[in-house]
Amino acid sequence: MTARTRRAVADDVAAIVALEAASFPLDPWSENLVGEGVGAMLPTVTYVVAEEAGAFAGYAVVSVVDVDAELQRIAVPQKRRRTGVATALLDAVRAVAAGGGAGRLLLEVREDNTAARLFYERHGFTELGRRPRYYRDGTTALVLAAPVTMVP
């Protein structure tokens, strides 16, 4: 089954907020913030959702400012991981970034998140720098970058 992606709409906010809380329990974004982003009230931000068989399967958030885009969030429910959903979301994020004129896609990932680091490496990301004690629990963030035009 292949995930289909699309821009998020107001009806997606509850599912995004629930997955946000499950995926980022130390620092989840509020329903208000998600609603503003989905509602296009944050001018540089785009929310993308994935669906499989008509059911919510994950989301990603990208911000495009000038030549840089930043993947701010990407989350897929545990039961749908390693099924291609995250790849479909990343492809959609790259399309949004390219459409906004960005030349590269940046992101931060926890240094101790091996699965995510390997995923990004497979998709052409390389380490640009480190942010010591970036996360609330003191974990270092790796700053990764990849060309927007690169096709995995």
Written as six digits, the tokens of 54 are 């008509």
Q: How far apart are the first and last CA of the chain?
A: 19
The pLDDT assigned to 142 comes to: 95
Categorize the per-residue pLDDT at 82 as very low, low, confident or very high, splitting at 50, 70 and 90: confident
Query: Is the pLDDT reported for residue 103 higher than 60?
Result: yes
Question: For residues 16 and 7, what is the distance between their CA atoms, to the nearest angstrom?
Answer: 12
Domain range annotation of the chain: 4-147
pLDDT in tens, 6-35: 999 999 999 999 999 999 888 899 999 999
Give the other-Cβ count within 10 Å of 59's Cβ. Answer: 26
Query: Is the pLDDT reported for residue 81 higher than 90?
Result: no
The pLDDT assigned to 1 comes to: 61
The pLDDT assigned to 152 comes to: 44
Looking at CATH, the fold of the domain delimited by 4-147 is given as Aminopeptidase (3.40.630)
Question: For residues 41 and 58, what is the distance between their CA atoms, to the nearest angstrom?
Answer: 21
Helix ranges (H only) for 52-113 are 85-99
Mean pLDDT of the chain: 93
pLDDT in tens, 136-145: 888 999 999 9
The pLDDT assigned to 116 comes to: 93
**Once rounded to an integer, what is the mean pLDDT over residues 41-61?**
95
